[in-house]
Structure 1
Amino acid sequence: MKTLEELNTPIFWAEGHPGSLERDKWVISVTGKCVNPQQFTWQQLLQLPQKEVMGRLTSVTRWSVEGLWTGIAFSTILDIVKMLPSCKYLRFWSIGEIYDTSIPVDIALKEKSLLAHSFNKEYLSEDYGGPVRVFVPYLWGYKSAKSVVKIELMEYYIPGFWENRGYSDSGEIEPGPCRDLNADGEIKYIQGPGEVIF
């Protein structure tokens, strides 16, 4: 199976590439509307039940890459921290806490949404959002925050980095042409909102 690099997946960090990150020292804080806020170390994340899904990361700049993503279902995290019923959105913060974005809880709980650490059985590099990133194949890629250090459980929506710069708050994938990186960049067509399946 090819890596993201071998598939010529573009590297893009709106807030600047973070450089080398220490996977073994990675910590993600989960706070906000929950009974049991806590921090998860890299080792603790790997000890949680792991889930594998086939899915596409699709950029608003109209490229899409498919592969086997491995990580932790958001339902697992939310059960551990005991999310309160009043929580309606998950807000993600990337390393440095410059980049943020939010998604509805119901999207986070969909079958293929993950806190992902691997693509095609290989750990994600910093170029592609490692050590741990959001993977939400149902929305444009800017909703799949890279190198996540904090998850806030929110009662209300707050526009994030790109949303404040004109991108849609919903992140709903729109129909139209898109480069399929699994087919050497061949132009294919997104038929409608939801998960992209060519």
Structure 2
Amino acid sequence: MQSNERREREREMRAAGRLPPGQSLTLKWPVLHVGSVPLFNPRTWDFRVFGLVEEQLRLSWEEFSNLPQSEVCADMHCVERWSRFDNHWGGLLATELMRRVKLRPEAQHVMVHGENNYTANLPISDFLCPTTILALRHDGEPLTAEHGYPLRLVVPSLYAYKSVKWVRAIQLLDRESPGLWEFNGYHIYGDPFKEQRSSS
């Protein structure tokens, strides 16, 4: 896309209310993560839901990948000021996952656990948005390892540091608790349309 076309596309997206302030359109998909890309072994990989649930859930790779699949089209906004539009995600909706557990009444927040000790927090209301998805695929292809294969949480309503790569567990909490980047100065909530980049 030529620079003039790109600027016009940015204007269109901003006029449509889809480009947050301070963001620029990208056609690429930049790679950002903490630590090295982990190796995936389907025989030992597992996924857990724990914390404030009546009974903890543990799924093997085979069990997880056989759960009902859905598709979501959503934009992605990075705290590093780029936005990528119309991403097509395939995988397990967060709402579908949570049908398999019974929340305790005090469960109000989620801590997402990924490989490399990565964590990110979000309110349970954002986790249960209809567009929040545990993605296995992007634009019709399996996720690449650098973008979170085999499993990435995607939370389109928040900056992408909440969209945890290589996710392994969902923990239900009764209070807000900062994850890795939130603990290190990123905004505790991270709304891109309010430019909630840092806690200061």
| TM surpasses 0.5 | yes
Residue aligning to 2:142 = 123
Q: Distance in 1 between matches of 2:43 and 2:56?
A: 21
Aligned residues: 169
Name which of structure 1's ranges 101-110 and 77-86 shifts more when overlaid on structure 2. 77-86
Shift of 1:23: 4.5
Q: TM-score, normalised by structure 2?
A: 0.78
Letter in 2 for 1:144: S
Aligned residue identity for 1:131: P
Q: Please give the alpha-carbon distance, in whole angstroms, between the structure 2 residues aligned to 1:36 and 1:56.
A: 34
Q: 1:76 aligns with which of 75, 96, 119?
A: 96
Q: Deviations over 1:39-78 (max 9, x none)?
A: 1122212221111010112110011223210111112222
1:175 Cα offset (Å): 5.7
Within 2, Cα distance between the matches of 1:76 and 1:174? 27
CA RMSD of aligned residues (A): 1.8
Higher helix share: 2
1:123/1:62 Cα in 2 relative to 1: closer, same or farther (>3 Å)? Answer: same
Following TM superposition, the consecutive aligned residue runs of length 4 or more in structure 1 with deviations greater than 4 angstroms are none
In the aligned structure 1, how far is the partner of 2:169 from the partner of 2:153?
11
- 2:59 corresponds in structure 1 to 40
Which of these residues, 67, 70, 74, is aligned with residue 87 of structure 2? 67
Q: Residue in 2 aligned with 1:4?
A: none
Contact kept, 8 Å, 2:110 with 2:173, in 1: the verdict is yes
- The aligned residue for residue 166 of structure 1 is 185
Query: What secondary structure does 1:162 align onto?
Result: helix
**Structure 1: which 5+ residue stretches go unaligned?**
1-6, 177-191, 193-198
Deviation at 1:109, TM superposition (A): 1.2
Q: Which residue of 1 aligns with 2:118?
A: 99
Instruction: Check whether the contact 1:163–1:169 (CA below 8 A) recurs between aligned residues.
Output: yes
1:56 aligns with 2:52: no
Cα distance in 1 between the residues matched to 2:140 and 2:32:
22
1:150-194 CA distances to partner (integer Å, 9 max, x unpaired)? 110111111011111111001111367xxxxxxxxxxxxxxx9xx
| Structure 2: runs of 5+ lacking an equivalent | 1-26
Residue 138 in structure 1 maps to residue 157 in structure 2: yes
Paired residues of 1:36 and 1:80 also in contact (CA < 8 A): no
Q: Once the 2 structures are TM-superposed, how far is the Cα of residue 26 of structure 1 from its aligned partner?
A: 2.6
Task: Tell me by how many angstroms 1:33 deviates.
Answer: 0.6
Give the SS at the match of 2:129: coil
Structure 1 residue 119: Cα displacement: 0.5
Indicate the SS of the match to 1:127. Answer: helix
Could you say what secondary structure the match of 1:28 adopts? strand
- Sequence identity, in percent? 28
Q: Does 1:90 align with 2:110?
A: yes
1:79 maps to amino acid: R
1:184 — aligned with what? none
